[in-house]
């Protein structure tokens, strides 16, 4: 009988079931973030894949996994700090605090051409350049 692939992990500490990862066990290392719903898998060639512990999806970028988790597994968000107003997620409390000011002060930068409003001046500039070709 073979030993468990991850004997040091206590799966009773999570709400998710662990599903097997395909591939030979010698070709990758796993950095587990148990309780967050995903694992970072470092392949033998150094490339990194991200594995959803909820549905076994394997993707190549953390951003793709974040989109997947937020779309399909809303209760298992990868971003631990969630804005209570709009549910936007952040990696750090300082990121969420900066974002919170958007809700407090409103959108004070207005496009002089179409009237669309922005929270940040650089968003207005980007809009003017891409939409109005200024």
CA distances from 122 to 47, 72, 126 (A): 34, 32, 6
The backbone torsions φ and ψ at residue 52, rounded to the nearest 5 degrees and listed phi first, read -75, 120
Between 12 and 48, the higher pLDDT residue: 48
User: Quick check: 33 pLDDT over 50?
Assistant: no
pLDDT at 75: 61
User: Quick check: 102 pLDDT over 60?
Assistant: yes
User: Quick check: 99 pLDDT over 50?
Assistant: yes
50, 61 in Cβ contact below 8 A? yes
On average, the pLDDT of the chain sits at 71
Question: Among 24-33, 65-74, 77-86, where is mean pLDDT lowest?
Answer: 24-33
Mean pLDDT of the 68-79 span: 70
pLDDT at 36: 54
CA distances from 76 to 80, 84, 97 (A): 9, 16, 21
In the structure, what pLDDT confidence band is assigned to residue 85 with cuts at 50, 70 and 90? confident
List Cβ neighbours of 39 (8 Å cut-off, separation of 6 or more).
21, 30, 31, 32, 33, 50, 51, 53
Domain boundaries, the chain: 1-77, 79-134
Between 82 and 74, the higher pLDDT residue: 82
CATH architecture under which domain 79-134 falls: 2-Layer Sandwich (3.30)
What the block records as the tokens of 15 is: 């709400």
Distance CA 34, CA 10 (A): 9
Please say whether the dihedral angle defined by the alpha carbons of residues 107, 111, 112 and 114, taken in this order, is positive or negative.
negative
In the structure, what pLDDT confidence band is assigned to residue 129 with cuts at 50, 70 and 90? very high
Between 131 and 78, the higher pLDDT residue: 131
pLDDT at 37: 62
Return the number of other C-beta atoms located less than 10 Å from residue 65's C-beta: 22
Confidence (pTM): 0.34
């Amino acid at each position: 009988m073979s030993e468990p692939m991850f004997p040091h992990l206590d799966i009773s500490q999570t709400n998710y079931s662990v599903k097997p990862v395909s591939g030979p066990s010698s070709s990758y290392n796993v950095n587990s973030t148990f309780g967050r719903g995903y694992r970072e898998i470092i392949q033998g060639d150094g490339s990194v894949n991200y594995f959803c512990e909820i549905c076994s999806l394997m993707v190549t970028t953390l951003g793709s996994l974040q989109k997947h988790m937020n779309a399909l597994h809303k209760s298992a968000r990868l971003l631990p700090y969630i804005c209570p107003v709009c549910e936007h997620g952040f990696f750090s409390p300082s990121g969420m605090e900066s974002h919170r000011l958007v809700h407090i002060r409103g959108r004070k930068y207005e496009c002089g051409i179409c009237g669309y409003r922005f929270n940040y001046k650089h968003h207005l500039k980007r809009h003017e350049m891409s939409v109005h070709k200024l």
